[in-house]
Amino acid sequence: MKHRFAIASLAFLLVATSSFAQAVYRQVDKDGRVTFSDQPPTASSQPATPRAGNTVSSAVGLPYELRQVTQRYPVTLYTGDECGPCTAARSLLTTRGVPFSERTVKSNEDITALQRLSGQNGLPLLTIGSQQLKGFSDSEWSQYLDAAGYPKSSQLPGGYQNPPAQPLVALAPAAQPAPAAAPTPAATPVPATSSNEPSPSNPAGIKF
């Protein structure tokens, strides 16, 4: 009896431990949208084929498994100037070896675009696929990166660099000054037409 009770207790402990370790579940709907939840996916949930174009240029040259994760769930970090949490967020991604794109929010146009994207103007903002994480939290971000399939330690090749940060709203090219108009040539005076009529200086009316 005691032996059976011990086995049942151990099984319960293993189930409880497994449930705690998998607190975040990744789900992909039929349209390829990715969400994370603490609820396990339903039986009807089926993984979708990643949509074409959902890749980042920085995936080139990465190990196969990391490249697959990066293409399925690209990571983008939105940051601002003089933002301590933004620096900590960047450090977490860099230390862990997560390939990511960075978008800076500085201009009024950037702020407006951020509000449309996330519904707020707080920074930093992290997107993993279509999932948004607002405000930096080391433990929460790590948990979601784990669920997306990113390795816990860097697997980046030596010398790898993320693409340089870009403004959230692309800057319009500066207008080029219009070329100066060419000066209009002065009109050539038309020579006076010689008259065939006699005059005091030309009584015969001679025409040359």
Residue 189: inside a domain, yes or no?
Answer: no
Q: In terms of pTM, does the model score above 0.85?
A: no
Residue 32: inside a domain, yes or no?
Answer: no
**What is the band of 46 on the pLDDT scale with cuts at 50, 70, 90?**
very low
Taking the C-alpha atoms of residue 133 and residue 76, their distance in angstroms, rounded to an integer, is: 11
Number of independent structural domains in the chain: 1
Residue 57: inside a domain, yes or no?
Answer: no
Query: Look-up: residue for tokens 């009109």?
Result: 187
As a whole-number percent, the residues of the chain with pLDDT over 90 amount to 50
Average pLDDT value over all residues in the chain: 75
Residue 201: inside a domain, yes or no?
Answer: no
Is the pLDDT assigned to residue 8 strictly greater than 80? no
Q: Which of 38-42, 59-63, 202-206 has the highest mean pLDDT?
A: 59-63
Looking at this protein, which amino acid is placed at residue 148? A
Pseudo-torsion of CA 18, 24, 28, 29, nearest 10°? 100
Structural domain that includes position 138: 63-167
Residue 99: inside a domain, yes or no?
Answer: yes
What is the CATH number for 161?
3.40.30.10
Residue 58: inside a domain, yes or no?
Answer: no
Question: Pick the residue with more confidence: 176 or 21?
Answer: 176
Residue 54: inside a domain, yes or no?
Answer: no
Is the sign of the CA dihedral 26, 30, 33, 39 positive or negative? negative
Tens of pLDDT, residues 76-101? 999 999 999 999 999 999 999 999 99
**What is the band of 10 on the pLDDT scale with cuts at 50, 70, 90?**
very low
